[in-house]
Structure 1
Amino acid sequence: MAEQNFDVIIVGSGPGGYVTAIRSSQLGFKTAIIEAADLGGVCLNWGCIPTKAMLRSAEVYHQMQHAKNYGLTATAGYDLPAIVKRSRDIAKQLSGGVKFLMKKNKITVILGFASLKAGKDAPTVVVEGKDYTAKHVIMGTGARARTIPAAGLEPDGKFIWTAREAMVPDTIPKRLLVIGSGAIGMEFASFFDAFGADVTVVEMVDRILPAEDAEISGLAEAAFKKRGLSIKTKTQVKSVTKNTNDVTAVLSVDGKDESHNFDRVILAIGIVGNVENMGLEELGVKIDRSHITVDEFSRTGVPGLYAIGDVTTPPWLAHKASHEGIICIEKIAGGNPHPLDANSIPGCTYCHPQIASVGHTEAQAKAAGYDIKVGRFPFMGNGKAIALGEPEGLVKTIFDAKTGELLGAHMIGAEVTELIQGYTVARQLETTEEDLMETVFPHPTLSEMMHEAVLDAYGKVIHI
């Protein structure tokens, strides 16, 4: 009979779950992980990684179309099934990698849907009719796309897509409606636009990418419109009616109704935590709008039960889930980890142009009562950006005028999703403006703009 008693059981094998399982095993705990679908969760199989593979194809295709800008000649063409296959093969490879890591770290993998019932030290986990016990149970069940059935926006796999269907498209639609302008919405808008779709993005609030700094959002909107996307802010989707070959969407734009036809619709309006049918409420777990309420060390308030990642509080990001899981298991092991600082978690959007940020926006810093200094440096002033043929973009820094603390950093342009970690490290180390100004940045690199943006905040910028 298979082992059914453990020190730690983790439900869900996404970036939060499998990373926590590995660290749990390293700390000497007998560990099991339970997965109802594919190892690696949504991120590796249907989220972060396969979408980046598709966006890479779009980026290369875009560059091929503009080869003559680099003194080259190329014939641009694409094979959609091959693009999708490449993405799915990468997801399969990474899921297999998680399986290898589980075996290497002697973690028991249990496949099936888990539910909970009252237990001794922690809730008992039930999978396929079998009881599994542990001293500690960590929920990392993730989330799924939010839908709006009342408006006719129930995904059907044909006309109405969530991110999952959009990752295995059967066609590049001629007319595409993207509902929601957060990271997921803008990434898919960018992908389908690159391959010739006529893309319309609708957003309820007054600007796209509403979680980003307002200045960056404005630059992003201008860049997308320049590429030909239609952006409709302060717009609601009142209804979607399916026709034989397309759908009719009624949009309320500034209070006025408009009717448009589209070949496909992508829903990107947020997520819903996976909390149903697991016995959580019966155990007394507090759930707020489909997400589990936890303290700074991921404790739910139910003895022996914890929760991490997208099933808990925002930001709903893979790297937040992983770090949260490490903090949780280190605390269980008797360590003294620092609680998670959500404001120091970087966010990245891999559309074209890329967007990245960490910390306070300018508006948030002002609202928090800070006297601020703001620095900006444009890509046009950077030699490497010009040499790359990527002269459009901006690096923006926000400092506390009194202490020199780096309150936030915001970027738009080529490779900023790689650059942002420099500022993230700076915040973690409590670096001041003086430390950053005295740091030597290599030349020629895009990172020099990070230095110049700091200098600009204090009236010392060199190259503009």
Structure 2
Amino acid sequence: MDKQSFDVVIVGAGPGGYVTAIRSAQLGLKTAVVEANHLGGICLNWGCIPTKALLRSAEIYHYMNHADAYGLSAGKPGYDLEKIVSRSRGVAKQLNGGVGHLLKKNKVPVFDGWGKLAGGSAGARKVTVEKDGKVFAELTAKNVILATGARARQLPGLEVDGETVWSYREAMVPKAMPKSLIVVGSGAIGIEFASFYRTFGAEVTVVEVMDRVLPVEDAEISKMAEKAFKKQGMNIITGATVKGLKKDGKSVTASVEKGGKVTEITAEKLISAVGIVGNVENIGLEGTKIKVDRTHVEINEWCETGEAGIYAIGDLAGPPWLAHKAEHEGVICIEKIAGVKDVHPLDTGRIPGCTYCHPQVASVGLSEQAAKDKGYDVKVGRFSFVGNGKAIALGEPEGLIKTVFDAKTGELLGAHMIGAEVTELIQGYSVGMTLETTEAELMHTVFPHPTLSEMLHESVLDAYGRVIHM
């Protein structure tokens, strides 16, 4: 058996795990990674990245179908689903190889197998690595960081069968474009798939248990998104639950209850997008002081678990379930371990969220209602895309930038957007919040013209009665 000692062993090489490993090596710590499946984790291989490749194909297809609006003609647009999927998988493969290169460059060995805590005392934690039912390595480390991620939640009655009921994995590699589709759940994952399939012509029904789509977003943005989705031809059913499924091998019929009334909806496929659960099983938590709450490991502000020398980051450690949260959390964790000065705990209230549907949606901080619920007296600014020259030139005049300020201090409490490229624009406000910027600094900032970013400025101005172009 291979026995080695390290300063740090990281179990899981998703965005949180591999970034933490690289930073650990930069800090001079002898570091190892254990990964049972793919370098880059779900995000890179089956989530964030390949879905964006699919959505890019959908975006271009959308513009091809509207070429006439730009004075162009290119005949009747068509698509090759096999090539679309192949391109998506190729993007994931390229980045998977890139992660391997980065780890090798930083001299971080990767143990290809299932990592599991195997006891030991503080300062000498042990992790076993198993492959094909056989333990082939035992790693001893002063610190173990668990980054095992999460998987799709499966609700009773909505179990994935890979045929007519899909998870994100099956939805990402369809062999044929379904003529009809039911999507259960309207969070980022559900809505992105709904947007992809609808763009390519599938009849899409979205069922959401909450009273609005994209329920974590600001209510005003959710309302605009629902209006846009309906305009595209989606059937949106909110405040509803799926009570059961009937399958005949070629289609699936969902019994959808809303307001006490049950309606049956039949489609070729159904995508279950009802959240995730942490991968806490079979990683050696039993017999430790590590606490698990609703499938997620409890941690403090430095990612420490209840067991000395053992840490948890990313999806395993709870919401928000975002790759960039996992990466930042991992860096904070390892820098604290290494004794780096001026390490700051992660403020999850300042983590931006992005949904790559059409139109795109992005946000950071408190919604208008959440700010009011916390007792803030707020000033709210709004600026519509129709007032922006670049948006009009792009042929994208529908959208909104919304900002929420503390009326007493001018602190930027939150920002919410819907429209073209807002997933890129949101970072401007994220930087501002990190710098604790007030409305004064934002007003005095010069934004380039003509750009979509000018709308960030105008929304701030609007909150204080100074908007120019609206």
Report the TM-score range of the alignment, normalised by the length of the smaller protein. over 0.9
RMSD: 0.9
How big is each residue's C-alpha offset from its partner over 1:100-149, in whole Å with a ceiling of 9 and x where there is no partner? Answer: 0010000010011111121132531011223111000000000000011x
**Paired residue secondary structure (2:216):** coil
Match of 2:292 in 1: 287
Q: Quote the offset at 1:2 in angstroms.
A: 5.0
Q: Quote the offset at 1:463 in angstroms.
A: 0.5
Match of 2:198 in 1: 193
* Matched-pair contact (CA < 8 Å) for 1:122–1:137: no
Distance 1:349 1:312 in 2: 22
Distance 2:359 2:3 in 1: 50
Q: Quote the offset at 1:254 in angstroms.
A: 1.6
Distance 2:385 2:6 in 1: 53
Q: Does 1:158 align with 2:163?
A: yes
Match of 2:420 in 1: 414
Q: Which amino acid aligns with 2:457?
A: H
Report % sequence identity.
65
Q: Which runs of 5+ in 2 are unaligned?
A: none
How do 1:326-365 and structure 2 match up within 5 A?
A: 326-335=331-340, 336-365=342-371
TM-score normalised over the length of structure 1: 0.98
Distance 2:38 2:277 in 1: 19
Match of 1:55 in 2: 55
Match of 2:9 in 1: 9
Match of 1:372 in 2: 378
Distance 2:265 2:439 in 1: 50
Distance 1:390 1:356 in 2: 16
Give the total of aligned pairs: 462
Q: Quote the offset at 1:353 in angstroms.
A: 0.2
TM-score normalised over the length of structure 2: 0.97
**Paired residue secondary structure (1:283):** coil
Q: Quote the offset at 1:3 in angstroms.
A: 5.7
Match of 2:392 in 1: 386
How big is each residue's C-alpha offset from its partner over 1:408-454, in whole Å with a ceiling of 9 and x where there is no partner? Answer: 00000000000000000000001110100010100000000000000
Q: Does 1:224 align with 2:224?
A: no
Distance 1:112 1:2 in 2: 13
Q: Does 1:432 align with 2:433?
A: no
* Matched-pair contact (CA < 8 Å) for 2:3–2:138: no
Q: Which amino acid aligns with 2:448?
A: P
Distance 1:235 1:171 in 2: 29
* Matched-pair contact (CA < 8 Å) for 2:2–2:138: no
Match of 1:252 in 2: 257
How do 1:72-83 and structure 2 match up within 5 A?
A: 72-74=72-74, 75-83=76-84
Q: Which amino acid aligns with 1:147?
A: Q
Match of 2:125 in 1: 123
Q: Which amino acid aligns with 1:197?
A: A
How big is each residue's C-alpha offset from its partner over 1:285-312, in whole Å with a ceiling of 9 and x where there is no partner? Answer: 1000000000000000201100000001
Q: Quote the offset at 1:277 in angstroms.
A: 1.1
Distance 2:444 2:336 in 1: 37
* Matched-pair contact (CA < 8 Å) for 1:117–1:283: no
Distance 2:454 2:83 in 1: 38
How big is each residue's C-alpha offset from its partner over 1:347-393, in whole Å with a ceiling of 9 and x where there is no partner? Answer: 00000000000000001100111110000000000000000000000
**Paired residue secondary structure (1:339):** coil
Q: Quote the offset at 1:397 in angstroms.
A: 0.3
Q: Does 1:23 align with 2:30?
A: no
* Runs of 4 or more consecutive aligned structure 1 residues displaced over 6 Å after TM superposition: none
Q: Which amino acid aligns with 1:89?
A: G
Change (3 A) 1:79 1:400: same
Distance 2:142 2:385 in 1: 53
Q: Which runs of 5+ in 1 are unaligned?
A: none
How big is each residue's C-alpha offset from its partner over 1:66-108, in whole Å with a ceiling of 9 and x where there is no partner? Answer: 0000000023100000000000000000000000001000001
Q: Which amino acid aligns with 1:248?
A: T
